[in-house]
């Protein structure tokens, strides 16, 4: 059974439980990984977070129920909303009309169930090794970002810090990306040194001791690093059995190369 068959099991389970509690632990077991890894794989292969997918599927189903004549409050409770007000706000934002107007208007949105093509084969080969890294204390600068703008924000900040401080402190030798509580959306990008430097407003971040998957990139160009990152998440991770650890991935720059380090249990 390939990863896409497992993902179809996930979306099927969600469909069957739109009006019930959806257990992320059950979903993770379909893929044989922990919930954190499952959420990362799902969002990277679908371009939507798992929580957002469930929310949109529920709001799509709610529109049909309202069209059939169900009451707003009953529909709200059915799809997990605490009250009619919060449901109405979410429904309006998604469909563009209030739930009470559904019977009179036909302009509704439907976010369909995602069905994966099980005939897609993942054939990319990636070399890696497992390494152990002691606790790292790093110092540097960050910028807020998101899943869409990270491709531009990361090289922009790295170039700025390199230009501003390379003469005095040398080039930055680490970078990380941080994520939100659900570990599905990136929130900030950091450019870091493994030594304390005397600069106003510099921040400290500690990376706990951990085991990492190391993928070596024979370049320090942002585009090459992004290619490796995309290959890891879209080709390697869905078809491997490693569980990701909820601490940041590292980019370690040294000797003209980049080590892309992914923390695992």
Listed in sequence order, the DSSP H helices in 68-149 are: 72-78, 84-95
Per the structure, how many domains does the chain have?
A: 2
pTM to 2 decimals? 0.71
Q: Does 161 share its domain with 89? A: no
Quick check: is 10 in a domain? Answer: yes
Q: Does 85 share its domain with 161? A: no
Helices (H) and strands (E) in the chain, counts: 8, 8
Give the model's confidence band at 122: pLDDT under 50 very low, under 70 low, under 90 confident, else very high. Answer: low
What is the domain extent for residue 89? 3-101
Percentage of the chain modeled with pLDDT above 70: 94
What's the pLDDT tens digit per position in 170-180? 889 999 988 87
DSSP label at residue 244: B
What's the pLDDT tens digit per position in 226-237? 888 888 877 787
CATH of the domain at 22: 1.10.10.60
Asked whether the predicted pLDDT for residue 36 surpasses 70, the reply is yes
Quick check: is 145 in a domain? Answer: yes
Q: Does 162 share its domain with 240? A: yes
Quick check: is 120 in a domain? Answer: no
Quick check: is 179 in a domain? Answer: yes
Q: Does 248 share its domain with 136? A: yes
- 3-state class (DSSP) for residue 255: coil
Query: What is the Cα–Cα distance from 94 to 110, expressed in whole angstroms?
Result: 10
């Amino acid at each position: 059974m390939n990863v896409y068959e497992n993902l179809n099991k996930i979306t099927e389970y969600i469909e069957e439980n739109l009006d019930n509690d959806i257990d992320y632990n059950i979903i993770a077991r379909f893929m044989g990984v922990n919930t954190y890894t499952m959420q990362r794989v799902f969002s990277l292969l679908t371009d939507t977070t798992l929580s957002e997918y469930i929310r949109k599927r529920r709001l799509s189903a709610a529109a049909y129920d309202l069209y059939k004549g169900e009451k707003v409050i009953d529909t709200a409770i059915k799809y997990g909303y605490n009250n009619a007000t919060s449901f109405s706000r979410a429904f309006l934002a998604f469909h563009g009309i209030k739930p009470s107007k559904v019977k009179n208007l036909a302009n509704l949105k439907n976010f369909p169930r995602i069905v994966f093509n099980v005939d897609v084969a993942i054939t990319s080969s990636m070399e890696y090794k497992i390494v152990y890294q002691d606790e790292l204390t790093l110092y540097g600068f960050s910028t807020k970002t998101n899943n869409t703008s990270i491709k531009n924000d990361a090289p922009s900040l790295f170039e700025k810090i390199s230009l501003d401080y390379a003469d005095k402190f040398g080039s930055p030798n680490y970078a990380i990306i941080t994520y939100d509580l659900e570990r599905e959306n990136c929130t900030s990008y950091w450019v870091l040194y493994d030594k304390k430097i005397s600069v106003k407003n510099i921040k400290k971040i500690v990376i706990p001791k951990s085991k990492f998957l190391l993928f070596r990139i024979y370049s320090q160009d942002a585009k090459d690093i992004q290619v490796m990152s995309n290959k890891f998440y879209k080709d390697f991770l869905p078809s491997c059995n490693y569980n990701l650890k909820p601490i940041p991935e590292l980019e370690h720059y040294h000797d003209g190369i980049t080590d892309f380090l992914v923390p695992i249990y």
